Amino acid sequence: MSPLLYAEDLHKSFGPTPALAGASIRIEPGEMVAIMGPSGSGKSTLLHCLAGIIRPDSGQVGYRDQVVSGMSDVARSALRRTDFGFVFQFGQLVPELTALENVALPLRLDRTRRRAAERQAAAWLDRLEVGDAAGKRPGEMSGGQGQRVAIARALVAEPSVIFADEPTGALDSLNGERVMQLLTTAARDTGAAMVLVTHEPRVAAYADREVVVRDGHTRDLTVAAR
């Protein structure tokens, strides 16, 4: 079977500094893969290439039957809006919008009517235990609440792939554990694959498989069955 998402022999440099030097990875439908490595190893660059945020200098990124690395900026942007969901370390919620409006935003950008979009957004906020924060703006929420809102926003459009870049990095251990429980449960319930960048073994333990990035190269590890 063909993978849902893959990268083959990716090279990417920023000026004279190489970030990826032949990185490859395959993600199957519904699979959760943790990308691990020390700071500066290239793991976030690999995620950004997989998600079509940046283009590799060489090599290929593919999603289903599409070559993502060969798409135009407009086509990659559309793919990120419809098929991919994102959770970042600091949430990156729009500060002027309420939690409900933030979660509904991907649907509104895809021209879903406001009432229908906000109904779906409210259901996801309830599912992620932050329904009472629907009317709050990001500055009025705790870090744990904000990250749950960010997860709801990532999942509201039912993406095929969720990209999570250090999703617990700004949280204490208790909030981090709960966020990971909610994120992985929601991803499995919806059948979404997940690409999870982390440097924390306890976070990587939620994944099915680990890929270690070091000096721009990748090495697959199998996570022991739990």
CATH number at residue 215: 3.40.50.300
How many separate domains does the chain show?
1
> Is residue 104 in a domain?
yes
10 in any annotated domain:
no
Q: Is residue 63, in this structure, part of any structural domain at all?
A: no
pLDDT tens digits, one per residue of 186-198: 999 999 999 999 9
Range of 131's domain?
A: 30-44+73-222
pTM comes to 0.91
Domain contains 195: yes
The candidate with the shortest Cα–Cα distance to 186, out of 126, 226, 105, 137, is: 126
60 found inside a domain? no
107-152 tens-digit pLDDT: 999 899 999 999 999 999 999 999 999 999 999 999 999 999 999 9
